[in-house]
Amino acid sequence: MHNYISDLKKHIGKKVTLKGWVYNSRSSGKIKFLLLRDGTGLCQCIYFKGECEEKALEDFAKLTQETTVEVTGVVREEPRSPGGVELGAETLNILHITKDFPISPKDHGVDFLMNNRHLWIRSKKQNAILRIRAEIVSAIYDFFNGKGFTLSDAPIFTPNACEGTSTLFETQYFDEKAYLSQSGQLYMEAAAAALGKAYCFGPTFRAEKSKTRRHLIEFWMVEPEVAFANLKDNMELAEQFVEYIVGRVLKNKKEELKTLERDTSTLEKIKAPFPKLHYKEAVEILLKKDTGFKDGNDFGATDETIISSQFDKPVFVHHYPTAIKAFYMKEEEADPTYSLSCDLLATEGYGEIIGGGQREDRLEILEKKIKEHDLNLEHLKWYTDLRRYGAFQSSGFGLGLERTVSWICGLSHVRETIAFPRMYGRMYP
Amino acid sequence: MHNYISDLKKHIGKKVTLKGWVYNSRSSGKIKFLLLRDGTGLCQCIYFKGECEEKALEDFAKLTQETTVEVTGVVREEPRSPGGVELGAETLNILHITKDFPISPKDHGVDFLMNNRHLWIRSKKQNAILRIRAEIVSAIYDFFNGKGFTLSDAPIFTPNACEGTSTLFETQYFDEKAYLSQSGQLYMEAAAAALGKAYCFGPTFRAEKSKTRRHLIEFWMVEPEVAFANLKDNMELAEQFVEYIVGRVLKNKKEELKTLERDTSTLEKIKAPFPKLHYKEAVEILLKKDTGFKDGNDFGATDETIISSQFDKPVFVHHYPTAIKAFYMKEEEADPTYSLSCDLLATEGYGEIIGGGQREDRLEILEKKIKEHDLNLEHLKWYTDLRRYGAFQSSGFGLGLERTVSWICGLSHVRETIAFPRMYGRMYP
């Protein structure tokens, strides 16, 4: 087997074989530089007349961007290089010549890049984002597994609509109609009763005809649910979780953050506890700004930015009006016009990354709400069963992966947070 | 906050509060036993007249299966108990009385249990399966992350059908038709060129109108893809992977395997390397058995059982006929009627758990195969681009999670391997 660039530091002074693609190449008199990309990193390979095969120098002239090559040489320490090493190259074996790679260092339009997303992800910046995404995913699993949660995958096909029917994808499930899941939460409540602390993490779907920088049609969501937890416990779990994720990226993805030119000083401040505002307090902030916001409404992107710009940490808004939240949100017993809900707004104007709250655990009220929301009581019989058989206090939340990646990477659009984004009007590649 | 049963060993001699559900309760003179379930474990709580509140003894009589309770008491070491501890209970606070919990210790029919799956998962056996599933998922991430792979989620909505159109779920994606993914593999080849070693892990969908013990409509699949790997490398990766998963369950889920009465001696033999048969060798085994199998065909469930029963380890069959494999499978250069494909058949008659192989890296042959398979060349333009720009040898495989869970747990049906299975004729709960 060949060696990987990410491992070269372990092989200093040794001869290795690398396989990869030409990221860049240039000649300077007797010395030729090949910047090799193998997906695990970049390595400067130096061909010096007399120290490498003659044929390598001849073939070097044929190299083009993204040509596939095999290179052998000796690993040398080089503190000025990205990985701290370079290769004293000896051979060059061209495996496939690439002609006219579509993505050159010059500027391309967004549409062109998105059409060539399968090639664009090879670029340094896109690569860094994908690596940070993978680190965040890994941090999510480690956080919940480390806290005694049990992963329990939620189904994608559901007969029931849980957050309104207008944004649902529909498919024929043999003789029935099925919808693609918008949330695994209801299922996680059943799982919490079986496992105490449960979570799911999978793709969810919203058929939103919007082209904003915050929306994808397919996005991944992690949804923990804790039996016997209340709204306060829920916010505490969420803030520990977000602190942990950000900390993991800061610790393990320094190079990638540098590639993205991310200002990490703002991320370093993301430490629990986070500020927590009652909906009424958030409304006060907005009313002072005279933006036309009306008390009782949900926040738009601009409202979220105004609220979150008051703080240098993410901020919770809790106790949203019952009328603007989902049917399963528990009403505050003292004042049922407000609900035991909470959203977390990220810093720097990135908006909502978490939504959650405490669940309605009283059967009569839940059934009333299901009817009021015009949902199918029969399809949700199993869900109401959780209040018939061993009813329990339960809280949880959902964190949207792509918005979180966008925030931590400091991106201007969620489309770069996943290898193959699905957006309104785009399903290719 | 309250305490969790799984943590009680850390609190021996201390007073704790538990919240959970009645798994069982019985009285014996002055002593009353409450077997409490909190999702993280079971704990025997012992109420002894004079050592607990009088009210607790009165309320004890009201306890029914799955009634929600809060219990305080002192943790005592008790080697004969499941978790090594028991609780000297002092108080009993009933949070919700459960009447007529549908699932009693008596036998129920499969359909009844599946209709009450949301409650059935609270039972000891189903709980053990879900915990083993979560351990396997965790092992999957740890294995690939530990080997330098980068997770890269594949999209669910695709315009292209990759394994034939008859088993596809279709949905309206705004103005286009979309299919739900049956495999992320094609996308992983693009990801491998960007990341070297990539993998995806998510739900996949097959609209199969079959009610076998091996099929789910929705199932999770992990699909690694390695740039510059060949068929041999691929089988070596797969066998290390399967050994690792089985080893993790044996090491970390002893109690759960005991609950399932799984014969672990057969699992302990699952050590790489695994036997590897050329398709022709596998056919010879079948022809000797005189089962009516025809050379050139794919194996059915019975054929797989016959082949795998010759070995006490999983067995690879490689070099399947090109005609029965997907369009992207590379033809053997010496004899194009065979392909560089491999499937892994599990032991004990559990059948195929892995399918994979080396990919066709020659543009002309790939385009010819796409046409022969009646697939849309335009939809797959991006995929063929991977042969235009930096073509590379690439291999990978997919492992079906539910079949693997079924095998490791020793179950007779895949329906118990996920909390909320989706099968032909079932989408509830």
Concatenate the DSSP letters of all residues of B241-278 into one string. Answer: HHHHHHHHHHHH-HHHHHHTT--HHHHHT--SSPPEEE
- A–B interface: beta-carbon pairs under 8 A: 263
One-letter amino acid for residue B272 of the chain? A
In chain A, what are the helix, strand and coil shares in percent, each to the nearest 5?
Answer: 35, 30, 40
- In B174-308, beta strands by DSSP E: 176-180, 197-205, 218-227, 276-278
- Mean pLDDT, rounded, for B331-335: 95
Looking at residue B368, its pLDDT comes to: 97
What is the distance between the alpha carbons of residues B247 and B3, in angstroms, rounded to a whole number?
30
With cut-offs at 50, 70 and 90, classify the pLDDT of residue A124. Answer: very high
Looking at residue A29, its pLDDT comes to: 87
- Percent of chain B scored above 90 by pLDDT? 92
Mean pLDDT of chain A: 96
Q: Which residues of B touch A130 (CB under 8 A)?
A: 150, 152, 191, 194-195
With cut-offs at 50, 70 and 90, classify the pLDDT of residue A210. Answer: confident
- Determine the 3-state secondary structure of B158 from DSSP: strand
Residue A80 makes CB contacts below 8 A (sequence gap 6+) with: none
Tell me: the pLDDT tens digits for B247-283?
Answer: 999 999 999 999 999 999 999 999 999 999 999 999 9
- Mean pLDDT, rounded, for A244-269: 98
Closest-CA distance, A360 to chain B, in angstroms, reads 14
Residue owning tokens 């829920």 = A234
- Mean pLDDT, rounded, for B42-70: 97
Q: CA dist A190 to A20, A145, B426, Å?
A: 48, 19, 18
Burial of A213 (C-beta count, 10 Å sphere; 0-12/13-18/19+)? middle
* φ, ψ dihedrals at B21, nearest 5°: -130, 150
Neighbouring CB atoms inside 10 A of B316's CB total 23
- Mean pLDDT, rounded, for B375-395: 96
CATH superfamily of B5-96: Nucleic acid-binding proteins (2.40.50.140)
Find the distance separating the first CA and the last CA of chain B, reported in whole Å.
31
With cut-offs at 50, 70 and 90, classify the pLDDT of residue B162. Answer: low
**What is the Rg, in whole angstroms, of the alpha carbon atoms belonging to chain B?**
26
With cut-offs at 50, 70 and 90, classify the pLDDT of residue A211. Answer: confident
With cut-offs at 50, 70 and 90, classify the pLDDT of residue A164. Answer: low
Q: Are strands B351-358 and B394-400 parallel, antiparallel or unpaired?
A: antiparallel
CB contact under 8 Å between A39 and B389, yes or no, is no
Q: Is the pLDDT of residue B164 over 70?
A: no
Furthest C-alpha separation in chain A: 86
Looking at residue B401, its pLDDT comes to: 98
Q: Which of A102-106, A135-139, B23-27, B376-380 has the lowest mean pLDDT?
A: A102-106
Q: Which residues of B touch A6 (CB under 8 A)?
A: 148
Q: Is the pLDDT of residue B217 over 70?
A: yes
Q: Degrees (nearest 5) of the Cα angle A203, B135, A186?
A: 40
The answer to whether domain A117-417 has CATH 3.30.930.10 is: yes
Q: Is the pLDDT of residue B161 over 80?
A: no
* φ, ψ dihedrals at B225, nearest 5°: -140, 130
Say whether residue B143 is in contact with chain A using an 8 A CB cutoff. Answer: no
What is the distance between the alpha carbons of residues A81 and A84, in angstroms, rounded to a whole number?
5
Q: Report the residue of A36, A115, A153, A402 to disrupt the B interface, i.e. the one with the largest count of B CBs within 10 Å.
A: A153
Tell me: the pLDDT tens digits for B347-377?
Answer: 999 999 999 999 999 999 999 999 999 999 9
Closest-CA distance, B70 to chain A, in angstroms, reads 10
Q: Given CA atoms B396, B400, B401, B406 in this order, what sign does their dihedral have?
A: negative
Tell me: the pLDDT tens digits for A345-392?
Answer: 999 999 999 999 999 999 999 999 999 999 999 999 999 999 999 999
Structural domain boundaries in chain B = 5-96, 117-417
- Mean pLDDT, rounded, for B80-98: 95
What is the distance between the alpha carbons of residues B36 and B92, in angstroms, rounded to a whole number?
11
Looking at residue B107, its pLDDT comes to: 85
Tell me: the pLDDT tens digits for A293-347?
Answer: 999 999 999 999 999 999 999 999 999 999 999 999 999 999 999 999 999 999 9
- In A230-350, beta strands by DSSP E: 276-278, 315-318, 341-346
Closest by Cβ to B218, choosing from A1, A156, A197:
A156
Q: What would the two tokens of residue B406 be?
A: 């079924």
CB contact under 8 Å between B122 and A194, yes or no, is yes
What is the distance between the alpha carbons of residues B141 and B129, in angstroms, rounded to a whole number?
19
CB contact under 8 Å between A389 and B101, yes or no, is yes
Mean pLDDT of chain B: 96
Q: Report the residue of B71, B132, B216, B389 to disrupt the A interface, i.e. the one with the largest count of A CBs within 10 Å.
A: B389
- Residues B53, B92 contacting (CB under 8 angstroms): yes
Looking at residue A161, its pLDDT comes to: 64
Say whether residue B419 is in contact with chain A using an 8 A CB cutoff. Answer: yes
Alpha helices in B16-107 (DSSP H): 54-60
Residue of chain B nearest A118, judged by CA positions: B190
Q: Is the pLDDT of residue A67 over 70?
A: yes
Q: What is the phi-psi region of residue A148: left when phi exceeds 0, alpha when psi lies from -120 to 50, beta otherwise?
A: left
In chain B, what are the helix, strand and coil shares in percent, each to the nearest 5?
Answer: 35, 30, 40
Q: What would the two tokens of residue A60 be?
A: 């070097």
- Residues B89, B52 contacting (CB under 8 angstroms): yes
What is the distance between the alpha carbons of residues B359 and B353, in angstroms, rounded to a whole number?
19
Nearest to A44 by CA among A94, A91, A87, A98: A87
- Mean pLDDT, rounded, for B115-142: 98
Query: CATH topology of B5-96 equal to that of B117-417?
Result: no
Tell me: the pLDDT tens digits for A132-142?
Answer: 999 999 999 99
One-letter amino acid for residue B379 of the chain? H
Say whether residue B191 is in contact with chain A using an 8 A CB cutoff. Answer: yes
Q: Is the pLDDT of residue B218 over 80?
A: yes
Looking at residue B104, its pLDDT comes to: 87
Looking at residue A49, its pLDDT comes to: 95
With cut-offs at 50, 70 and 90, classify the pLDDT of residue A252. Answer: very high
Looking at residue B163, its pLDDT comes to: 58
What is the distance between the alpha carbons of residues B418 and B401, in angstroms, rounded to a whole number?
9
Looking at residue A347, its pLDDT comes to: 98
Q: Is the pLDDT of residue A62 over 90?
A: yes
Question: Cis link prior to A273 (omega < 30° from 0)?
Answer: yes
With cut-offs at 50, 70 and 90, classify the pLDDT of residue A107. Answer: confident
Residue B20 makes CB contacts below 8 A (sequence gap 6+) with: A196, B5, B36, B37, B38, B39, B68, B69, B71
- Determine the 3-state secondary structure of B318 from DSSP: strand
- Mean pLDDT, rounded, for B290-305: 94
